[in-house]
Amino acid sequence: MVAVKRNVAGLVIVFVGAAVVQLAVSNTYLRYVKPGMRWMLLAAGLILIVLAVADVLADTRKKPEGEEHDHSGDDGHGHHGLPKAAWLLLIPIFALLVVDPPALGAAAASRQSPVASKPIQPKSNSWLADNPQGGPVNLAVRDYSVWAVWEKESMKGRSFSLTGFVTPAKNGNWYVTRMGLTCCVADATAFMVEARGQAAPPKNQWVTVTGEWAEPSKRVDGDVAALTVSSVKSVTAPANPYE
C-alpha cells in the first residue's frame, strides 16, 4: 500500500478526469464549449481515470521497483512524483471548484462591437415573406441581428420575440444579447440587438422581449440591429446560454 500512497500523479489525473466527466454529465460544460463536445469530454475523462487506475494497479503489482530507478541518473523523478509542470493541472480544477466560472455575459459582450457583420452567404429568411400573418415571430438573436440590417425589406412592419441577456450601453441604452459559439468560449461572437422604448433591466438579466422591427442605428463601424420593444419579460437562463 505504500506504493499507492505515493502516487500523486494518479491522484491529480483522477481529479482532472473526474472534473471533466462531471462537467459533461452535469451540463455545466455548456457554459464553456459547444454541445457537440459532450461525448468527447466524457471519453477523455474516462480515459484519464482508467489511466490513473492502471498506474496505481501497476504500482501495487510490482512493489520492489527501486533497482531500475536507482541507476537512471537522467531520470529526475520516478513517475510517482509529479513533473513540476503537472502541478499546473490543479489550477483549472481550482477555478472550477472555487470560482465556478459563469457563462459569458454582458462583460464579454460589451468588449465586442454590436455591429452585425454582413453574412457571406445569408441564411435564407424567405419563410418570413411566405408567412406574412401571425403574431410575434420567435427568432434567434443571432438571426435577427443580421436580418434586421441586411434583409430589411422582409422585416419591416413585423413583430418579433427575442430571448437573450441584457447588456447595458451608454445613455441608458441596452442590448438584448446572445453569444454565438463555434467551438469554445475563446471564439465567442456577440450578437446584439438594440432594445428601444423600455427602461433597461438589470445587467445580465435574461429577458424575452417582444416588439417591432426598427430602423438600425448607425455607428462608425456599421449598422446595429434594433427593435422597438413593447414588452419585456424576465425569464430564467436557458440550459445552453449560447446560440
Partner 1 sequence: MSAPSDVDEKAETPPKEPAGSSIAFTATLILLVGLALFGRRIFAGVFTDEVVRTWATMFVGVTVQALPFLVLGVLLSAALTAFVPPSFFAKALPKHPALAVPVASASGVILPGCECASVPVSAALMSRGVTPAAAIAFLLSAPAINPVVLASTAVAFPGQPKVVVARAVASIAISMIIGWLWLLTGKGSTWLKIPKNRHAEGTGKLEVFRSSMLHDFLHAGGFLVVGAAAAATLNVIVPRSWLDAVASNLLLSVLVLGLLAVLLAICSEADAFVAASLSQFSMTARLAFMVVGPIVDVKLIALQAGTFGPKFAIRFAPATFVIAILVSLGVGWWLL
| Cβ pair 239, 30 in contact under 8 A | yes
Residue of 25, 27, 35, 51 interacting with partner 1 (CB under 8 A):
51
- Tell me the closest approach of the beta carbon of residue 49 to partner 1, in angstroms: 11
Nearer to partner 1, 55 or 212 (CB): 55
Residue of 25, 27, 60, 92 interacting with partner 1 (CB under 8 A):
92
Residue of 27, 60, 138, 182 interacting with partner 1 (CB under 8 A):
182
Task: Identify each DSSP E strand in 88-168 by its residue range.
Answer: 137-138, 159-168
Q: How far is residue 43's CA from residue 38's CA, in Å, rounded to a whole number?
A: 9
Q: How far is residue 23's CA from residue 96's CA, in Å, rounded to a whole number?
A: 9
The answer to whether residue 48 forms part of the interface with partner 1 (CB under 8 A) is yes
The answer to whether residue 1 forms part of the interface with partner 1 (CB under 8 A) is no
Nearer to partner 1, 46 or 137 (CB): 46
Q: Which residues contact 78 (CB under 8 A, 6 or more apart)?
A: 65, 69
The answer to whether residue 208 forms part of the interface with partner 1 (CB under 8 A) is no
Residue 171, sorted as left (phi over 0), alpha (psi -120 to 50) or beta, turns out to be left
The answer to whether residue 72 forms part of the interface with partner 1 (CB under 8 A) is yes
The answer to whether residue 126 forms part of the interface with partner 1 (CB under 8 A) is no
The grid cell for 122 is 445569408
The answer to whether residue 9 forms part of the interface with partner 1 (CB under 8 A) is yes
